[in-house]
A and B are shown apart, each in its own frame.
Chain A
Amino acid sequence: MYPARFDYVAPRSLEDAVEALAGGGDDAKVLAGGQSLIPLMKLRFAEPSLLVDINRIPGLDGIAEDGGRLRIGALVRHNDVVGSRLVADRLPVMAAAAPLISDPLVRNLGTVCGSLCHADPAGDWGSVMLALGAEVVARSPSGERTIPVSELLVDTFTTSLAPDEIVTEVRVPLPQRRSGGHYLKLERKVGDFATVGVAVQLELDDGRIGRAGIALTAVGPRNVTATEAERVLAGAEPGPDAFAEAGRLAADAAEPVDDVRGSARYKRAVVQTFVERALTRAHEIAGGSR
Chain B
Amino acid sequence: MEVNVTVNGAQHRVDVEPRMLLVHMLRDRLRLTGTHVGCDTSGCGACTVLLDGTPVKSCTMLAVQADGRSVTTVEGLARDGQLHPIQEAFKEEHGLQCGFCTPGMMLAAAALLESNPDPGDEDIRWALSGNICRCTGYVNIVKAVRRAAGAMRQTATQAG
A interface residues with partner B (beta carbon < 8 Å): 1-8, 10, 31, 34-35, 38-39, 41-43, 51, 53, 55, 102-106, 108-109, 190-191
Chain A interface: which of B13-21, B93-101, B149-157?
A: B13-21
Kindly list chain A residues whose C-beta atoms are within 8 Å of the C-beta of B17: 5
CA separation between A43 and B129, bound complex, in Å?
24
A106→B62 contact, CB < 8 A? no
- The residues of B that contact A34 with a CB separation of less than 8 Å are 60-62, 65
B82 at the interface (CB under 8 A from A): no
> Does B1 belong to the interface (CB within 8 Å)?
yes
Which parts of B96-112 form the interface with A (CB within 8 Å)?
Answer: 108
Neighbour of B64 across the interface among A1, A8, A108, A109, CB < 8 A: A8
Chain B 1-23: CB-based contact to A (< 8 A → 1; otherwise 0): 10000000000000001111100
Give, as a whole number of angstroms, the nearest-CB distance from B101 to chain A.
13
Q: Is the CB of A38 within 8 A of B60?
A: yes
B19 touches A105 (CB 8 A): no
Interfacial residues, chain B to chain A (CB-CB below 8 A): 1, 17-21, 24, 40-43, 45, 48, 54-57, 59-62, 64-65, 67, 108, 126-131
B61: chain A residues within 8 A (beta carbon): 34, 38, 109
The chain B residue with its CB closest to the CB of A39 is B42
Extra inter-chain contacts (12) besides given A5-B19, A6-B19, A105-B45, CB under 8 Å: A2-B19, A3-B19, A8-B64, A10-B67, A31-B65, A38-B61, A41-B19, A42-B40, A105-B56, A105-B57, A190-B130, A191-B43
How far is B32's CA from A4's CA once the two chains are assembled, in angstroms? 24
Q: Indicate the member of B18, B20, B48 with the most A CB atoms within 10 Å.
A: B18
The answer to whether A35 touches B18, judged by C-beta atoms less than 8 angstroms apart, is no
A39 to B61, alpha carbons, bound, how many Å? 9
A1–B40 CB distance below 8 A: yes
**Chain B residue nearest to A3 in the complex (CB):** B19
CA distance in complex: A108, B65 (Å): 14
**A53-B65 contact, Cβ under 8 Å, with A4-B19, A108-B55:** yes
Cβ A103 vs Cβ B19 within 8 A: no
The answer to whether B130 and A55 touch across the interface, beta carbons within 8 angstroms, is: no
Q: Is the CB of B129 within 8 A of A35?
A: no
Let me know if A8 and B55 touch, CB within 8 A.
no
- Give the shortest distance, in Å, between B39 (CB) and chain A (any CB): 10
Say whether A104 contacts B20, CB under 8 Å.
Answer: no
Is the Cβ of B21 less than 8 Å from the Cβ of A7?
no
User: CA A35 – CA B19 in complex, angstroms?
Assistant: 15
* Residues of chain A lying within 8 A (CB to CB) of residue B45: 103, 105
Across-interface contacts of B128 in A (CB, < 8 A): 104
User: Min CB distance, B35 to chain A, in Å?
Assistant: 13
Q: Are A51 and B55 in contact (CB under 8 A)?
A: no
| A109:B129 contact, CB within 8 angstroms | no
> Could you say which residues of chain A place their CB within 8 Å of the CB of B19?
2-6, 41
- Contacts known (A6-B18, A53-B65, A55-B65); A104 close to B57, Cβ less than 8 A: no
Identify the interface centre among A41, A43, A105, A191: most chain B CB within 10 Å of its CB. A105
Q: Known: A105-B130, A108-B54, A108-B56. Contact between A10 and B64, CB under 8 A?
A: yes
CA of A108 to CA of B127 in the docked complex: distance in angstroms?
A: 12
A251 to B48, CA, bound (A): 39
